[in-house]
Chain A
Amino acid sequence: MTVHGPFSSIDISNTGLGYNKYWLDTIAHNIANVNTQTTPGQAPFRARIVEAMPLDTNTSLGGGIAVSDVVDQADDPAMMFDPGNPLADGTGYVQGPVVDLAEQMGNLILASRSYQANMTVFKEARDALQVTTTLGRG
């Protein structure tokens, strides 16, 4: 999408709202699975990481942001000795999720504040244009 014209700020902040909402949804999914255990040998739960892509970087104005990819966190899962757990393997170990709660909470604040920042841009641009529409009114 190429943005141009009087609504550039509104269109660009719209892409920021969409990206940060997607990021928030992903963080919600990661935090919801912070205790998801699996049997060793199976695929563990892996936190999803959203990758950003700036739009229209070849123009002077730029076109905002989009989600370019969502990748799984690559770290090794933690192994916990819990022989009573029905998910435990023959040696008594269960596999924890690959998700760092502290990191997710930090990202949650970043995504939330970024969403609010884009909403502020949206409102400021709208109010400025609102004033523009009154130009020439006697």
Chain B
Amino acid sequence: MDPLLSTVEYAMGGLQLRLDTVANNLANLNTPGFVAQKVDFETSLGIALASGRGAPGVGPAIVNSEDVPDDTGNTVNIENEITEMTKSSLERQVMVSAFNYKTDLLKAAAGVSR
């Protein structure tokens, strides 16, 4: 696959997983002892891009949050989750733009008009 498209595909998968994780964290806002989770796809993507490949062979990493727990051991923080959600949403829009840009180029090269 085209390197840019496979990179965008990987990033959008990571962003989708991050939004799902935010939803799960917020659903467990009041669950005693629940440890919030975070998604890191940037590290593996960065390594793959530096080595010249378009997308990594491994999936995004899910790591436990290191935020300060409350009295029940719960580490979900509403502000952090809303922030992650907003950032992921914005990043996804940029990914869609990049995807559309590249597919437009490929279509033009193939002589197909939208």
Name A's B-contacting residues (CB within 8 A): 7, 10-11, 14, 17-18, 21, 122, 126, 129-130, 133, 136-137
A-B contact pairs, 8 of them (CB 8 A): A7-B87, A18-B77, A18-B79, A122-B83, A130-B90, A130-B93, A133-B90, A136-B101
**Size bracket, chain B contacts:** 10 to 19
Query: Do B90 and A126 have beta carbons less than 8 Å apart?
Result: yes
- B20 → chain A closest CB, angstroms: 20
Q: Is B65 an interface position by the 8 A CB rule?
A: no
Query: With A133-B93, A133-B97 in contact, do A10 and B79 touch (Cβ < 8 Å)?
Result: no
B86 at the interface (CB under 8 A from A): yes
Q: Would you call A11 and B97 a contact (CB within 8 A)?
A: no
Tell me if A137 and B90 are in contact (CB < 8 A).
no
| Contacting residues, chain B, for A122 (C-beta < 8 A) | 83, 86
Q: How far is the CB of A130 from chain B (nearest CB, A)?
A: 7
Q: Once the chains bind, are A10 and B94 in contact (CB under 8 Å)? A: no
Most chain A beta-carbon neighbours within 10 Å: one of B79, B82, B87, B101: B79
Per a CB cutoff under 8 Å, which of B90, B97, B101 touches A129? B90
Q: Does B31 contact A (CB under 8 A)?
A: no
Distance, CA A21 to CA B70, complexed state (A): 14
- Residue from the set B82, B90, B94 with the largest chain A CB neighbour count within 10 Å: B90
B79 contacts A21, C-beta separation under 8 Å? yes
Contact assessment for B93 and A10 in the assembled complex, using a CB-CB cutoff below 8 Å: no
B103: chain A residues at CB < 8 Å are none
Cα A136 to Cα B79 in complex, Å, equals: 31
A129 proximity list for chain B (CB < 8 A): 90
Name A10's contact: one of B77, B83, B97 (CB within 8 Å).
Answer: B83
Q: Cβ of A130: which chain B residues have Cβ within 8 Å of it? A: 90, 93
Closest residue of chain A to B79 (Cβ to Cβ) is: A17
Contact indicator A137/B87 (Cβ below 8 Å): no
- Chain B residue with Cβ nearest A129: B90
Residues B80 and A18 in contact, CB atoms below 8 Å apart:
yes
| Nearest opposing residue in chain A for B101, CB measure | A136
Contacts of A133 in B (CB 8 A): 90, 93-94, 97
